[in-house]
Structure 1
């Protein structure tokens, strides 16, 4: 039996994803991520966990894990990177790097623990 696979076509049957980010101090992380997402967490399923639901599906999950804090990377796909950068700037969040490639424009942010949060906009006709 092929667990997690559609038996007929062998296509994955995954319908959603939860991106996990390990942080050292949840209070510091909450301040950053509430500004990043423009709102408080959508769910607080446990005392050391906060989660934001993404409009297109999926969740970003922040959890206290001192051993792994600072080693996470999440890429968030946006329709208009310039618009997002303007919104984030008003929240006091500035990218540590920006780049433009053949397929994506990106802006990299770091949370208080050093985790990388990348905003990425597909170039016209590539996504």
Structure 2
């Protein structure tokens, strides 16, 4: 089964409020709005994040985004007023954990060694 890409879903209660946050987080408007209750951001090297309205599951999503320079990401997000709730460094990666307005967990991670 050759998988060629992946889409991570994030359930939110209010798509308009979520879009304001995610536009600041990603530094740009959504790349696609396939439905009024869905917004999608595509990444240049593959993968998508889809934010969608689902009040029953809002706040229970978890997404890890791999970045090449975590310090640079933290600096850019700080300018936007977005700060991590925690930071961690392990043997293979360093991470910064964020929460969106619904409480969904977003982790930015930089690998320290080529483990994949």
Which stretches of structure 1, 4 residues or more, deviate above 2 A after TM superposition?
Answer: 124-127
Structure with greater contact order relative to length (CA < 8 Å, sep ≥ 6): 2
Query: TM-score scaled to structure 1, two decimals?
Result: 0.89
Structure 2 unmatched runs, 5+: none
TM-score normalised over the length of structure 2:
0.97
Aligned length in residues: 116
Structure 1 residues without counterparts, runs of 5 or longer: 1-11
Question: Matches of 1:23 and 1:56 in 2, distance apart?
Answer: 25
Structure having the larger proportion of residues in strand:
2
* CA distance, structure 1, for counterparts of residue 33 and residue 91 of structure 2: 39
CA RMSD of aligned residues (A): 0.8
For 1:106, the equivalent position in structure 2 comes to 95
Q: Could you say which structure has the larger radius of gyration?
A: 1
Deviation at 1:124, TM superposition (A): 3.4
